[in-house]
Chains A and B, each alone.
Chain A
Amino acid sequence: MTAANQRERLERVIEALARAACQDYGHRVPVSQDQEEDDLLELEVGVNFLLEDLQRVSRQNQESLAEIERKNREIADRASLALRELATPIIGVWQGVLALPVIGAVDTERGADMMEALLSRVVSEQATHVVIDITGVSVLDTRTADHFIRMAKAVRLLGATCFLTGISPAIAQTLAQLNVDTSSVRTVKRLSEALREVFRELNVAPVHSAPDPR
């Protein structure tokens, strides 16, 4: 095999990798039928297997993404009671501990539903701690921020402690600029830290103290 031939084959491998890096997984390294077995062939075939896998996974990803998008639209389109309940799942994390992950835009109606559902769960489960996580909220204007603060205050009036977690750096900066007073709410960086705090207050020792998930 000549050096020029080797160089050409290597370039074809690089081209396939370069295309893959640009998310074009459909390309394959051309391998001729009568290629004799050598180290390069192993590389070529290996790369093709890898690309095959990448293509499959990326197709699956796209399918799930499309599916998620479709479902999102469905949820947005319908404003039925059942769906609104689904949109604000309240999770019983532990006895007396509730978590409310908030995802997406919070309009007045959804905000009111959220408040209603949370407060009734606090009462019915005699919750002592509530963690509201807003990682999934991309924008907090004064009104939405007020809503969460009011929710935290209401929870406190019912005798439970309320944490607000998942405020992104961008939202934190914006809130500071908007002069929103968050002093009445216990804000914690991450959900996991809030839970650790809750367990400390409840005197529940985790069996293993797992490292903080990032």
Chain B
Amino acid sequence: MVVRDAVAEALAAVMTPLLVRSIVATLPSSSEGEVGSLDMMAGYDLLRYVADGARIFSGPPSVDLLTTLHDLIGGSQSFRPSAQVLTVTSDHDVIAAQDAARRLVRALFKPTDCVRVVTAVSELARNIYMYAGTGEVRLNVSEADRTITFQVIASDRGPGIARLEEILAGTYHSRSGLGRGLLGAKTLLEGLEIQTGPQGTTIKGVKQARFADIMRVS
């Protein structure tokens, strides 16, 4: 089944055929794809679009309706994960990483959490550029069991982070600001994992949100 028809079917249960037709007629082009073909970015963009359309006519849509829509559009329980890999070698790449992160999570998290995620990615990317010279930032979003997960993996082959324990304890204060950036990323994300040594550094962090929570706020 095409996404457009799946949306029409779900909306038909709660609004008049006329309104359904009007909303469905203006869906973005991603709705022409087969059910189950959308990735997280396209899927949630579409979901938000339908939610906004429905709101105009019948008030904020219920989480139940959105859950039904989500499952219909997703084809099963979830959308396909979206991912981005960015090479960081300059100051500009830090900003490119911010932009990529923002695009990825824009439709997924509450605005405040979006800023948190983008800021954390920025801190990690900036550390790569400042202390290792070059490296890579991998961003991806996925979902399972009605929970959305954003993950960032920042890796480099730099000299490694000295005095890591002091940094994470908040007792180390460098003039260049390394300590606070890393500590910041740790507070903004959940479960930051850091592997560091003379061969390089890999840092993983996640941010999660419940489907019901993000849809209630919108």
Contacts and interface: CB of A to CB of B under 8 A. Distances in A.
Given A109-B91, A143-B126, A22 B22 contact: yes
Tell me whether chain A's interface is mostly helix, strand or loop, or mixed: helix
B22 A19 contact: yes
Tell me whether chain B's interface is mostly helix, strand or loop, or mixed: helix
Contacts of A179: 170, 180, 183-184, 187
B53 A22 contact: yes
Nearest to A173: B112
B94 interface: yes
Contacts of A173: 112, 115-116
A109 B102 CA distance: 22
B103 interface: no
A75 interface: no
| Interface footprint category on A | 20 to 34
Given A107-B91, A173-B112, A177-B188, A139 B180 contact: no
A107 B116 contact: no
Contacts of A170: 111-112, 114-115
Interface in B41-55: 53
B105 to A, nearest CB: 12
A178 B183 CA distance: 8
A139 B119 contact: yes
B38 interface: no
Given A24-B26, A141-B184, A142-B181, A169 B112 contact: yes
Interface string A102-124: 00010111000000000000000
B16 to A, nearest CB: 9
Interface string B94-128: 11001000100000000110111011001100100
B56 A21 contact: yes
Interface string B165-202: 00000100000010011011001100000000000000
Interface string A139-155: 11111001000000000
Interface of A: 11, 14-15, 18-19, 21-24, 105, 107-109, 138-143, 146, 168-171, 173-174, 177-180
